[in-house]
Structure 1
Amino acid sequence: MLVVGDSTAGKTRACFEALRAQLPEHRVVAPAGGPDLLTAVEVIDRTAARCVVWLDDLESCLGPDGLEPALLTEIVRLRIPVLATMRHQQFDIFAAPETASDAGTEHARTATAGARVLRQLDPVELDRVWTPGELERAGETEDDRIADALAHHGPYGIAEYLAAGPALYQEWHRANRPGGHPRAAALIAAAVDLARTGLRPPYTLSLLASVHEPYLTAAGGALLRPEPLDTALEWATRRRHGVTSMLVPTQDPNAWHVFDYLTDHTHTPVPDTAWQTALEHAVGPHELMILGVHAHDDAPIIAESVYRRAVEAGHSGAMFNLGILLGKAGRFEEAESVYHQAAEAGHSDAMVNLGVLLAKAGRFEEAEVSFRQAIEAGQRDAMVNLGTLLGKAGRFEEAEASFRQAIEAGHSDAAYSLGVLLGKAGRFEEAESVYHQAAEAGHSDAMVNLGVLLARAGRFEEAEVSFRQAIEAGHSDAAYSLGVLLGKAGRFEEAESVYHQAAEAGHSGAMVNLGILLAEAGRFEEAEASLRQAVEAGHSDAVFNLGVLLNVVGRAEEAQTLLPASGQQQDQG
């Protein structure tokens, strides 16, 4: 079980209580890192001991030397219980979107062996803020600490308040002033930013001392009359509220972790000095890879430099991530080169993205070879990509076979893609069946297409249900399509409501249709506002419709400036 939540949400305590309630007789094995996890699994297998593996801060175990897909499969086979926690921030970094499942679209992703592991898990989300029912039950306890938290937590979560996160964060920032503790604040800032680079703690005093000076200078330097280093360290490591300190002690008296609440709530850019220090202290290609993952979106120049160093050491994940970075920058030849390098090293995601890159360049035969290579390596996404490629080439039977292979492998996108293929072939009953299958798996595009299919068959009530299901899943096109359906049925008030919903989500077609609907109801000012919103969103029909409206309300001169530049009035539906 993986519990994901914000810092101080209570993830570790929740896992502890689950362990105590469900597995009280099991021994707890808590590996310090990936290599230790490998050893632990081997020992548990050899001894058949009743053990639960405890992985607090799961990211420390992710990677080719630790928890990767093959080891996860082995853990499942051996039925070893695992309790793991991960902060939202780290989960988002490591579990980026999946590899492209459409041959014409490459989803940028930061994939590692760990990302492939996280895609196979169904995490339990632990909310920072408790529900009214949870607060009510907490009020029934006789624990004075919880009673105090209920009375004073304000906008913060109860566990967050109990862990003193907000209080320590505010105290840290208040320290950066004359008469405060500016050097301590700078030491903490250095530790926070080193953590944000992905450099693993603990951090020695000498390291923090060497990094903190630019932070102190930026805050005011000597004008703040900074305290001596030993005084600053004592203040930064002092335990507060009976809970924790800002710099957290380790077994090494000269090295510290940083309170992760401070890390997760800091959003300023990481300065180059911190990145450079992290690069100097990273050990081995895996640590370089982790730094690159953290820099990938916010500091792409640094990420490229880090990835290239890891590539030189033969890290296939770094080759793949570098390919994504170069592709996003439009450097396609370089991206192709490193994708080839990663594919030759056996990286199946790289084989998929190489195929996507080749397909975009019109090199379809080479793309097919790359997709088939990925399929042989067990990559489900490649089956979908190959099906899409074959479908575009008119090889429908082969495309169908590839999609069905992906469906059997449990890929929900494949059912959607097969539905599209079957629909184009006029096999509507079969298309409906696989759309239903994809919709049940939560595929919102399939819900929309199913609704369209049902509407065309005159099954309007079923279509409405499918569109509403897609709306609940957050699909703006569904609200637009439902608006069209309701408008044709003469249910104009309901149509207006869902058009508003789609327009607020940025759907320009909904803005146009809403404008037309309002104009037909004589609500010209509102209609104009909606059409102008669509014009700003770049909808090609909006200009013409706005011109027509202005003409109708007697503003002919304004209308004439618009009408010649546009096409035909959009017909709702």
Structure 2
Amino acid sequence: MDDGELRGLAADLRQQLTGPAWPAVRARVAAVDKLAASELELLAFELGRYGDNPRVRGVLTEWVRRFAAQGPSGRAVLRETIRAAAADTSTRAPAPPAAPAAELRAPAADREARNRAVARAAAEAASADIAAAVRQAVVRADNDVTGGVFLGPVVQTGTLGAVHFGPPAPPDPAVWMPAPGTDPVVLGARPGGGPYVRRDRDAELAEIDGFVLVTGEPLSGRTTTAWAAMARALPGHRVCVPPPGTDLRALAPHGGGPWVLWLDDLEGHLHERGLDTGLLARLTGAGVPVLATMSDEAYDRHRFGSSPHARVLSRARTVELSLDWSDDELARLAEPREPRYEEALLWRGATGVTQYLGLGPELWAEWQRARRPANHPRGHLLVRAAVDLALCGTMAPLPEELLRATHGLYGADASGESFEDALAWAARPRLGITGLLVREGGGWRPYGSLLADALRSDAVPPTPDAVWDAALAHEPEAVTTVARIHYRSAAEAGDPDAMFRLARLGGDETWLRRAADAGHTGACGELGGLLAGRGEGRAAEPYLETAAEAGDARAATLLAKLLQDRARHWLTTAARAGDPEAAHRLGDVLFAEGDTDGAFDFYLQASHAGYAAVAGSFGALHRYQGEEKVALVWLRRAIDAGDTRRPEPLEPNRLRSLAEADEFFRGDAERGCGLDPVNLGVLLENHGETDEARTWYEKGFALGDAYGAFRLARLLEKDRPGEAAAWLRKAAAAGHPGAKEALAAAADTVEE
């Protein structure tokens, strides 16, 4: 039976135990196995009294596992029992089971080893029937019945008014369990443990006689340690496990064989009818060991003074169990090769091994349930962000601002809870031990068990790429190695985005080309740029075009430059072959690049060939060279031919004064727009305003214009050569070509 089916059957059965179908279920189970029915009855009692809780769920799941394993038809009988009882709750005696009862009965030795606390089953079952009869009588007489269990018949003689019952009686010896086969969970230990790991204090528990008390901090493992000692030292004993509040006065030595009294959380038995010095003396004097556990805090609270509790505790041989494990204990922990033990060694942090093993499942369950809108949805996302960032490979504690930014990348609605409230919830220590998030070094870490469980669980969705990006930006060196491993498997499975990310992480052109060939537009842009930079323009063009069509502006620019270079090549070829239109267009290219002589030659070639369309370009070139009278002739020809792109006369509103030029640049310069801060500085320097010019040069350089540093170098080179040289180096470092050329040509003349 797999775990999913097992949990499903247990959940269905749990509903029947607290509903009207319970009597029918009990009858059917009893027809197959009376001891199993007694165990189930105890579980129904605990559900009714204490409500649903993890301990009851764990024990019930184990009961289903054992019952279904008794014979080949076990699962079928259990399913039919639940189905039939749920369908007909009015029938108190169900139909016979689907398989013979003998087929499902386990050997006696197996039944004795069942991991269930049946200590109270007989007493509770007997008292339940009596209680029902008395309740009917009392109701008829308008009486009030409260508390306890019935230890004998009750006779109604008129109106009693109110009937009060004392604490429950001890379990019947008929249902005491063999000490070696008792499940530690039934005795009070937390579920989910693996093989017992020997503790250093076990030597003090080699013999259990008299009154032995094991103490320790919460989750120190005291119950499990006491259970292991009992199993070793008292293999022939049966164990009596009374629940807290039991009337222990009826306990007495008897002839049914050796037995041990187990009192987990002893403080629950230190009451008026519980363990006192007289009872302790009678039991230990008759050779009955009393084995108990107690938290350090409860022990200190009850041990000292003159109270009856203190007198009882003073007679105990006390073994104190530490949270801290010695090196020898840690070495033994690694021996069973249990995954959770190995995880505890790796992930426990500042907490103890037993704290990790006991609290880890609780933290995981709380975190998973916190996602609901009525619970802590933002807290859930906050912890998820911390877990994902840690699993991405971050090593240092996570800054609060990183968590604040990252937890919003999951796209879930967490509007009902503030970030501060979510962080406080996540950091609150559970059981006084640790929170889901742990404060460390000014930042936060997720508790280690959450990381171990997340690595093992399928319930955690994959980490979004945006979170990987945040982790890489925060700790690039540490995260890169993990990210390569993460993306490689997806890339090898054919995911283009994973290919692209893997290529960027490792600079791997092979993965970049595979991603581009698979149609990833980002990869197309990067590969196209890489090829263009190596002079492989023809190979780059299709990749750049794909990226440009997807909106990649840089790819579009690179593609245009490549095409422009190709156009220039072919225009030159055509012009030299005598084509006048090619000569005109090539002249425009050269004119735009500042090669006025080359432009003049090709314009003249077009003119001599009678290509009239060159008139406007030729006129603009003459005007640029100050040859206005010649320019007007060409421009008039162009205008008369319908080319109105260039006016014949100069426009009357051209900027002519310093004030007009200043106004033209200053507005955009003050707003920090583009090149205008440095342009304004040049205008001011040209008119002797060097102090204000320097201010604008510095502002322009701060905004990213390398020309500002270059102009500062030129402004200061006469009076402050050292400072000028420093500015020249800054301009060169920022990419200004004039500064680079000046440094290369006169490096030995520029001094600091």
TM, length-normalised to structure 1: 0.34
TM, length-normalised to structure 2: 0.27
